[in-house]
């Protein structure tokens, strides 16, 4: 489950780069699939009074909090990882849940995403903060209803445990998002295209 709170921890908030920000690294489905998933969210909202996640639907790879001055080094490392990653097809099928608060669309092609997440762990020390370690998501999923109370979850999951969903998209890039203290939405930092190049970078070599 993703961290639901924001830590604003600064050395000097007036100095550029010393402010903390929350970051997400995600895989984004194409627009047609985005619309299909949004329809599911809206149906849940209308029938069970659930909260609709504010951001576009995506598969989160890692969530972390760090100083903004670390951003350039993180982007360099992510670019190197993306250069050596092959585009691949992501298959979505049916629904799963985190009892008793979240319903999500299940990712069938977990292995390729889990391999990517393991590679992203090589950037772990760049993503660390004094209070929080980065959260690498090893069970990929797309939430359609969050923060459900017990009654909402029981009623909605009774139905959606037996409902079906299918969809797929080509993951040809990953997207870095940022939310600064006081912001309500994430902003795009950079897109990293998967290039399937023979990149050989040992752990720690790039920023030693």
Q: List the domains of the chain with CATH numbers.
A: 20-90+111-136+169-193 (3.90.1140.10)
Rg (CA), the chain: 18
pLDDT in tens, 149-207: 999 999 999 999 999 999 999 999 999 999 998 888 899 999 999 999 986 644 444 44
Amino acid 14: pLDDT: 52
pLDDT in tens, 89-130: 999 999 999 999 999 999 999 999 999 999 999 999 999 888
């Amino acid at each position: 489950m993703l961290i639901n709170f924001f830590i604003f921890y600064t050395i000097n908030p007036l100095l550029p780069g010393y402010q903390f920000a929350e970051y997400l690294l995600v895989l984004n489905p194409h627009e047609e699939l985005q619309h299909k998933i949004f329809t599911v969210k809206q149906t849940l909202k209308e029938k069970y009074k659930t909260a609709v996640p504010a951001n576009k639907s995506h598969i989160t790879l890692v969530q972390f909090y760090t100083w903004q001055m670390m951003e350039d080094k993180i982007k360099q490392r992510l670019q190197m990882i993306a250069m050596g990653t092959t585009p691949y097809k992501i298959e979505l099928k049916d629904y799963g849940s985190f009892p008793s608060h979240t319903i999500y669309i299940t990712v069938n092609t977990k292995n390729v995403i889990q391999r990517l997440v393991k590679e992203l762990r090589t950037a772990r020390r760049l993503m660390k903060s004094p209070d929080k370690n980065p959260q690498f998501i090893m069970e990929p999923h797309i939430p359609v209803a969050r923060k459900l109370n017990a009654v909402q979850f029981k009623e909605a999951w009774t139905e959606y445990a037996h409902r079906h969903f299918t969809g797929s998209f080509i993951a040809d890039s990953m997207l870095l998002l940022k939310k600064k203290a006081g912001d309500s939405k994430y902003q795009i930092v950079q897109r990293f295209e998967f290039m399937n190049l023979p990149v050989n970078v040992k752990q720690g070599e790039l920023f030693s």
